[in-house]
Amino acid sequence: MKRIAAVQDISCVGRCSLTVALPIISAMGVEACPLPTALLSTHTLFPEPYVRDLTDMIAGITEHWKKIGAAFDGIYTGYLGSLRQIEVISRFIDEFRGEGFVFIDPVMGDHGRLYSGFSPEYVGRMAEFCGKGDIIVPNLTEACFMLGRDYIGEKYDRDDIKGVLRELTGLGASKAILTGVSLEPGRLGAAAYDSGSGEYFLCMGDRVQGSFHGTGDIFASVCVGALAKGEALGLAVERAVNFTCESIKATTDDLPDRRFGVNFEKVLHILSSEE
């Protein structure tokens, strides 16, 4: 069985980060090993969550992993809450990447704005960190910040998206996936570029009005599971878009507060049935 190290926080309530990554990757028949970077009572869209930074624990965990000979077929990083965490996880990648792939989701903003607490210095360091990845998956906001571009909103066409993807691979990763792409009314999805082969991929799904928390983590986790199983980039993106759309459709009036995330649990069988 393939094994992935999933490096991100645990938000106990509000489906995101490890509470999304672990069940999705596991459902795809891949072992998911958490390396938690922080513990939060809820994610930060809820007011005043309890937060415990776990950076000081990472060295102890990884030293024990080295002693027992733990190895990974892939490393998946998500939300990293500080410059120090980026440095610590950068060293972790150096020590554990082996022959596996490194998948980096540079979680730091959306809708044209950085999340609270992130600075221009953090953006620059995250752009450098993405150079350690084989695959990176920013949304449009994160891509524009890392590339020093003005936020393009929804005023773009297919050529603009291709240009952003090419620039993203210039950060160092050979493959880039761009989420939150919409090239026609009522459709939303992701675009990808493999700089090695020169191929572009585009997958769209039906757009549901409104904002749904945690969908980026759902998308990225499906991609990681698919890539760990040896699936091609285009197929991984297609599977991730389709599952994210099904998860949103499964979120109905029984979850009126969208800060609690989407009901991906209702459709996990889609992933397990594809094994």
Cβ contact 52:80 at 8 Å: no
Residue 274: inside a domain: no
Model confidence, pTM: 0.95
Which of 25, 195, 3, 176 has its CA nearest to residue 99? 3
> Cα(213)–Cα(210) distance, rounded to whole angstroms?
10
> Cα(255)–Cα(258) distance, rounded to whole angstroms?
7
Residue 205: inside a domain: yes
Bridge partner list, 142? none
End-to-end CA distance of the chain: 12
Give residue 253's pLDDT.
57
Residue 141: inside a domain: yes
Bridge partner list, 76? 6, 103
Question: 23: helix, coil or strand?
Answer: helix
Which of 257, 2, 82, 66 has its CA nearest to residue 90? 82
Bridge partner list, 101? 74
> Cα(215)–Cα(14) distance, rounded to whole angstroms?
11
Question: 245: helix, coil or strand?
Answer: helix
Round the CA-based radius of gyration of the chain to a whole number and report it. Answer: 17
Residue 42: inside a domain: yes
Please list the alpha-helical segments (H only) found in the chain: 18-27, 55-68, 83-96, 120-130, 140-147, 158-169, 215-228, 233-249, 268-273
Which of 179, 162, 184, 195 has its CA nearest to residue 236? 179
Residue 110: inside a domain: yes
Give residue 236's pLDDT.
97
Residue 176: inside a domain: yes
The CATH number assigned to the domain holding 10 equals 3.40.1190.20
Neighbours of 137 (CB within 10 A): 31
Per-residue pLDDT 10s for the chain (275 aa) are 999 999 999 999 999 999 999 999 999 999 999 999 999 999 888 899 999 999 999 999 999 999 999 999 999 999 999 999 999 999 999 999 999 999 999 999 998 999 888 999 999 999 999 999 999 999 999 999 999 999 988 789 999 999 999 999 999 999 999 999 999 888 999 999 999 999 999 999 888 776 778 899 999 999 999 999 999 999 999 999 999 999 998 886 566 677 888 999 999 999 986 65
> Cα(244)–Cα(177) distance, rounded to whole angstroms?
15
Count of domains observed in the chain: 1
Phi, psi of 31, rounded to the nearest 5 degrees: -70, 130
Give residue 117's pLDDT.
85
Question: 9: helix, coil or strand?
Answer: strand
Give residue 213's pLDDT.
80
Give residue 255's pLDDT.
60
The residue segments making up the domain with residue 53 are 3-268
Give residue 12's pLDDT.
95
Q: How far is the CA of 192 from the CAs of 6, 168, 199, in angstroms? A: 22, 10, 8
Residue 219: inside a domain: yes
